[in-house]
Structure 1
Amino acid sequence: MITSKNLIFFTPKPSTSEGAFLLDTGISAGFPIPADDFEATKVSLDEELIKNKNATFFAKVKGQSMIGAGLNDNDLLVIDRSLQPENNKIAVCFIDGDFTVKRLKVDANGIWLQPENPDYPIIKITEENDFMIWGIVTNVIKKL
């Protein structure tokens, strides 16, 4: 496990279960749906959330800089290091000795790390920064 002031990283443990039941009729958030003919199949969250097992890591969010993107303190991020960074993607970055999660803003003038909370500053990446895009966030898992 790796810990920084903004993220706590760990590798996913292999699952030995066959998955949990999935009600594939959908759950209505409006009017109730009759439960007469639903089918239950098994679904593996490993298969749904992890596309490249060897390049996927989990990290817990520490802080509030990304609340506007729905990433809250203690949420669990699924990070894929095999994906190419792109403008507007949410990325885990290593900058000047620490990890952070921010939205990438890339254009002809440079790279910025954009928080999703107005209380936090935008970070302009310069040649003086020790900087690496470590991985791209693909999913977030929340506890209710």
Structure 2
Amino acid sequence: MPITLISPDESKSLFPFFKAPAACGFPSPAADYLEQKLSLDQLLIQHPAATFFALAQGSSMQDVGIFDKDILIVDRSLKPSNGDVVMCLLDGELCVKTLYRRGHSVELQSANPAYTPIILDDGQTLDVWGVVIHVVHSLR
């Protein structure tokens, strides 16, 4: 499965940021609340040197909000914790799954009931590339 890596641009783009919460029921004159400029890379990326972007493929993680063609923001500097969504290489195959450690065993779970959990056995190799910290999902 090919993966597209996108490097964050050195020049940061700043966008208007309305600090007041956006009501999803009644319109609000948000222009009165323009407070500052917002850089999405500053908001979403804590460790720029250890962060990369990847393109999601498939439906196995849909129940955690990761859909086909979403952009994943992955931080390689974070130590994976139990229950983290990780990008990993399992026996040479790149995948995104939820990581669980149960005693000495490791389990990778999809977030779609159509997929069965993967319980690693002694002959398998697992390399965790990083923790998925954000997902960019288009509504169109």
Query: TM-score when scaled to structure 1?
Result: 0.89
Which residue of 64, 73, 78 maps to 2:73?
A: 78
Cα shift at 1:34: 4.0
Matches within 5 A, 1:129-144: 129-144=124-139
Q: Look up the match of 2:101.
A: 106
Partner of 2:92: 97
Percent pairwise identity: 35
Question: Counterpart in 2 of 1:119?
Answer: 114
2:40 to 38, 45, 50: 45
Aligned length: 139
Instruction: Give the 3 Å change call, closer, same or farther, for CA 106–37 of structure 1 in structure 2.
Output: same
Instruction: Determine the C-alpha separation between the residues in 1 that align with 2:13 and 2:131.
Output: 27
1:96–1:36 Cα change, 3 Å: closer
Counterpart selection for 1:61 from 56, 66, 91: 56
Distance 1:57 1:116 in 2: 22
Q: Which moved more, 1:18-27 or 1:42-51?
A: 18-27
In 2, the alpha carbon distance for the partners of 1:88 and 1:132 equals: 16
- Deviation, 1:32, is 2.9
Q: TM-score, normalised by structure 2?
A: 0.91
CA root-mean-square deviation:
1.6
| Aligned equivalents of 1:109, 1:142: Cα separation in 2 | 35
Distance 1:18 1:71 in 2: 25
Q: What's the secondary structure of 1:10's corresponding residue?
A: coil
Offset of residue 18 of structure 1: 3.9
Q: 4+ runs of 1 displaced by more than 2 Å? A: 15-18, 30-37
Please point out which of 25, 28, 33 is paired with 1:33: 28
Quickly say closer, same or farther: Cα 1:36–1:115, change in 2 above 3 A: closer
Q: CA offset at residue 11 of structure 1?
A: 3.5
C-alpha contact 2:101 2:107 (8 A) present in aligned 1: yes
Q: Which amino acid aligns with 1:46?
A: D
